[in-house]
Amino acid sequence: MAQAVVVVLFAVPFLAAASNPNPAWSLWSTLAVVVWLIAVGGEALADRQLSAHKADPANRGKTCRKGLWRYSRHPNYFFEFVHWFAYLVLAVGAGPWPVALCALGPVVMFVFLYRFTGIPYTEQQALRSRGEDYAHYQRTTSAFFPLPPSS
User: How many domains, the chain?
Assistant: 1
Residue-level pLDDT at 98? 72
Q: Given this model, what pLDDT does residue 134 score?
A: 96
In a domain, 7, yes or no: no
Per-residue pLDDT of the chain (151 residues; tens, 9 = 90+): 777 877 777 788 877 777 777 778 889 889 999 999 999 999 999 999 999 999 999 999 999 999 999 999 999 999 999 998 898 888 887 777 677 788 888 888 899 889 988 899 999 999 999 999 999 999 999 999 999 999 7
Q: Tell whether 9 is covered by a domain.
A: no
- Counting residues of the chain whose pLDDT is more than 70, the rounded percentage is 99
Q: Domain of residue 127: give its range.
A: 24-140
The answer to the question of residue 4 being in a domain is no
Nearest to 132 by CA among 55, 62, 59: 62
Answer whether residue 18 is part of any domain: no
Q: Cα torsion for 112, 55, 42, 81, to the nearest 10°?
A: 0
Q: Is 149 helix (H, G, I), strand (E, B) or coil?
A: coil
Residue 87 belongs to a domain: yes
Position 12 in a domain: no
In a domain, 2, yes or no: no
Residue closest to 31 by CA, chosen among 100, 93, 104, 105: 93
Assigned domain for 81 exists: yes
Q: Which of 56, 82, 78 is nearest to 68 (CA)?
A: 78
User: What secondary structure, in 3-state letters, does 76-120 show?
Assistant: HHHHHHHHHHHHHHHHHCCCCCCHHHHHHHHHHHHHHHHHHCCHH
